[in-house]
Amino acid sequence: MRIGVFLVAAGFPGRSAGEVLRDTVEAVVAAEEAGFDDAWIAEHHFMSYGVCPSAVTLAGVALGRTSRIRVGTAVSVLSTRHPVDLAEQAAILDQVSGGRFTLGVGRGGPWVDLEVFGTGLPRFERGFPESLDLLCAALAGDTVAADGEFFRFREVPMVPAARLRPVVACTSPQTVTLAAERGLPMLLGMHIGDEEKAALLRDYREAAERQAPAGEREGRDHREAAGGDRPGHVAAVVGHVADSTAQAVRELRESMPRWLEPGLAGYLPVDGRARPQRDISGYVDFLCDTHPVGSPGHCVEKIVRTAQVTGLRHLILMVEGAGDQARTLANIRRLGAEVLPRVRF
C-alpha cells in the first residue's frame, strides 16, 4: 500500500498566494519526514481554490528541498499546454531528481484558461486524445514529430530524453477508455466515493481487455490474480486526523466552506455556459463521511475499506482541510506516525 499527500495549494481567506506556495513546499518536506511515499501538487489558474498555476514548477522546488519522496503533478492541465513543452519540463525534473518525478495530466475543463492561453475550446472538446498521444510520444522516444489536427511539425530530437509514463486524471467514461486503451494509470478524484471508484476501475479493465488479444488477456488475468502487473492507479481522498472523529469532522465543517465557497466560484466558463453549482455544506459532509477523517483508528478503517472495495493500492491524502499551516503540518506528522504504519499491507 502506497500512501502520499495531495496538496491543492488551497487559497483560504486571509492567506496570500505566496504564503500558500511556500507552505505547500514546506508540507512536502514534512511529508517526507513523516514517511509518506509521495506528494502530489495540483494546478489551477485564476482562482483561489488552488493558487499554484504551474504544478511542474512547484514540484521542481519541492524536489530540490527533498531527497527521498516522489513528487508528482495532480494534475498539469494538458488542454492549455503544448505537450512537447510539458514533456521537456518533465524530463528535466526526472533527470535532475534521479527519477523521483511523476507527471500527472488531465483534460481540464471549459474554463477561461483556454481563452487566456490561446488554445481555445476545440482543444478541450476534441483535442485531448491527440495531445495525450503526443505527450506520450515525447516522453517515450529520442525524437518526436506530429501530423495531426492540432499539432504538426517535423521530427526533432528530445533533449533531454525521458522514459516516463504519465498518470491521467479520469472523471468521465471517455477519459477512462482513453487511458485504458493506452495502458496509462488513472488518477481518481476525491469527489467520488469507493463504489464509484470501483466502477471506474471496472470500466478501465473492460476497456483494456477489449484492446488486448485473447492470449494477452489470459496472461494479464493470471498475473493480476497473483498480485503483479498492477496498472498503478492513484486515488485522492481527504485525510484529516484528530483525537476523535467528532473533532476531526467539526474542524473540517468549520474550515472547508470558507475555502470552497469562493474557491469553486472561480471556475469561469470560457463560452458563457452555466457553471455547475455545488451544495458546499453537503459536499463537506460527503467528504467527511466518505474519506479518512477522524480518529487514527477511524482513518485506518476508512483506508482499509477503500482498498478492499476498490482494489486500489495507492491513495493520496488531501491534508490542507483545516486551512491553517500549523494544523496541516501537525496533521501530516500525526497521519505519518499513527495511521501509515497500520495500513502498510
DSSP string computed for 83-137: HHHHHHHHHHHHHHHTS-EE-EEE---SBTHHHHTT--HHHHHT-HHHHHHHHHH
Tell me the three cell numbers of residue 206.
473492460
CATH number of 2-342: 3.20.20.30
- Is the previous residue joined to 75 through a cis bond, with omega within 30 degrees of 0? yes
pLDDT at 217: 53
Cell 488554445 sits on residue: 119
* Per-residue pLDDT at 248 exceeds 90: yes
Q: CA 91 to CA 247: how far, in whole Å?
A: 43
Q: CA 50 to CA 20: how far, in whole Å?
A: 9
* Per-residue pLDDT at 211 exceeds 90: no
pLDDT at 345: 80
* Mean pLDDT, residues 306-310 taken together: 97
Q: CA 88 to CA 222: how far, in whole Å?
A: 37
pLDDT at 227: 39
Domains of the chain, by residue range, sit at 2-342
| Position 226 confidence tier, pLDDT thresholds 50, 70, 90 | very low
pLDDT in tens, 75-116: 999 999 999 999 999 999 999 999 999 999 999 999 999 999
Query: pLDDT higher for 224 or 31?
Result: 31
User: Is the separation of the CB atoms in 144 and 134 below 8 Å?
Assistant: yes
pLDDT at 26: 98
Give the predicted TM-score (pTM) of the model.
0.95
- Is the previous residue joined to 160 through a cis bond, with omega within 30 degrees of 0? yes
pLDDT at 216: 58
pLDDT in tens, 270-297: 998 998 889 999 999 999 999 999 999 9
DSSP lists the bridge partners of residue 142 as none
- Closest C-alpha to 167, from 309, 84, 71: 71
* Per-residue pLDDT at 38 exceeds 80: yes
pLDDT at 40: 99
Radius of gyration of the chain (CA): 20
Distances from the Cα of 21 to the Cαs of 53, 174, 343, in angstroms?
A: 10, 33, 30
Helix axes 194-211, 173-182, angle to 10 degrees: 50
pLDDT at 229: 40
- Closest C-alpha to 164, from 97, 224, 263: 97
Sheet strands (E) in 198-241: 234-238, 240-241
Name the 3-class secondary structure at 33.
Answer: helix
DSSP code at position 269: B
